[in-house]
Amino acid sequence: MNWLAIVDPLFDHGVDVAVIVIVVVKCLVGLGLLMTSVILMIWFERKAISDMQSRIGPQRWGPFGLLQTLADGLKLILKEDLIPSEADRTVFKLAPFLVLVPAIITFGLVPIGGTMTIAGHTVLLQVANPPMGILLLLAMSGISVYGVMLAGWSSGSKYPLLSSVRASAQMISYEAALGMTIVTVVLVTGSLSVHNIVTSQSHGIWHWNLIRLGVVPFVVFVIAITAELNRPPFDVVEAESELVGGFHTEYSSFRFAIFFLAEYMNTITMSAIIVTLFLGGPAGWAPNVAHLKWLFPIAWFLLKTIGFAFCYIWFRASLPRFRYDQLMDLGWKRLIPLSLGWMLIVAGFLVAPGWGFMMGAVVLIAYSVLARAFSLGQSREVGADSVLPVVGRRPLPGEVLRSMTDEEGD
């Protein structure tokens, strides 16, 4: 079991009862934190948007309306649970959990503080620190695509299906740019482990990946992750004016609540992931007080994460929604080339400055070729007239069969 110790100092002395208890407690505390922060996040979002729109917002339940979310959740759970008659029942019931479970697992990656010493064991303030590290984020966002896609398909309804096709196309498109920026971070860290990514940035603000990598990967990452979350301004998935209510139109009661729970969990987790990858995570100034040293990293982490959570609310209140083609243009034609080129430049500079400048020149040439290609593509004739009938194609097996049976039977 020695290989476990490489991943987490908790397993340095093997696995005994104390270690198992610590791991279970970490999981429970992580889940509790996530649930609490979802409740606070929804309240925060409603209050902040109310302020921006000169309204009061929730105020009845609890002090400052803090318990409004609980009341809403209770109301949703007590409502009738409907399954449309046209729905695929198994998949319809499965889909919300395909969204929820990745959201919970991803939060487990985030280091919310430094280390603590409990009963002689060094404990990372992070639910899990798997060796595959940050790749788990990509894997989980890949799985959550299914939740959205199957929720729309299994509803057996027109608009949810359209929404889910949009959603999955959007999420897959932006995953490429997302992956490329994560590669940039991994290159400069030299490790996939989230803990190592954070510790490599802990030597002061100039070591934060935000500055160390140039600001470009950070910007690309924030845009891509917002699109991945389907948050405004990238919420074409829910576009009420076009699609009724998006992929969860047919959902009600608890299953509907699960989708929203997962969405807000993801918003919080992704704010935390941005902080982890680019702003040093829990890094920050800490006074040399004997027993409170562990507290300051947590405070720094919370402060930064709340900052980004507020940015998401701000986006929602102030930015108009992208059109679907604009969204695809931004993803494929701007973000992917930009992140790919930047990754090559960073890789070049990691070898030697000379290589870095050479890569920069190569990337510039490639961009100019690409820009030429885009302008040629835009001047191409489009529209209904440019689409011509296909010259011919091989008949599908079903059609061959139909023609045969038609001859025999009818």
Partner 1 sequence: MIATTYAIQWVLVFATSALLILVGAVGVISVKNPVHAALCLIMTLIGVAVAFVAQLADFLAAVQIIVYAGAIVVLFLFVIMFLGVDRREHIHFEPLVGQRAFAGVGVAITVAGLITLMAKSHWVSGAASVTTKLSSGNGNVRELGTAVFTTYLFAFEATAALLIIAVVGAVLLARRERATPEEEA
- Binding residues for partner 1 (CB under 8 A): 2-4, 6-7, 88, 90-91, 94, 130-132, 135-136, 138-139, 141-143, 145-146, 149-150, 153-154, 161, 165, 168, 172, 175, 179, 191-193, 387-391, 397-398, 400-401
Question: Please, which residues have CB within 8 angstroms of residue 291's CB and are 6 or more apart in sequence?
Answer: none
Eight-class DSSP state of 207? G
Q: Of 88 and 329, which CB lies nearer to partner 1 in the complex structure?
A: 88
Q: Which amino acid is at 128?
A: A
Q: Of 179 and 341, which CB lies nearer to partner 1 in the complex structure?
A: 179
Q: Where is 407: in which H helix or E strand?
A: helix 397-408
Least distance from partner 1 to the Cβ atom of residue 137, Å: 10
Residue pointed to by tokens 């296909």: 390
Least distance from partner 1 to the Cβ atom of residue 169, Å: 8
Phi/psi class of residue 236: alpha, beta or left (left: φ > 0; alpha: ψ in -120 to 50)? Answer: alpha
Q: Of 90 and 318, which CB lies nearer to partner 1 in the complex structure?
A: 90
What number of CA atoms fall less than 13 Å from residue 275's CA on the CB side?
30
Least distance from partner 1 to the Cβ atom of residue 3, Å: 3
Q: Of 39 and 100, which CB lies nearer to partner 1 in the complex structure?
A: 100
Tokens matching residue 397: 């097996």
Eight-class DSSP state of 319? P
Least distance from partner 1 to the Cβ atom of residue 327, Å: 17
Q: Of 59 and 405, which CB lies nearer to partner 1 in the complex structure?
A: 405
Least distance from partner 1 to the Cβ atom of residue 397, Å: 4
Sign of CA dihedral 279, 280, 282, 284: negative
Q: Which of 128, 225, 119 is nearest to 177 (CA)?
A: 225
Q: How many residues does the structure list for the chain?
A: 410
Least distance from partner 1 to the Cβ atom of residue 258, Å: 18
Q: Of 56 and 376, which CB lies nearer to partner 1 in the complex structure?
A: 376
Tokens matching residue 112: 């919310």
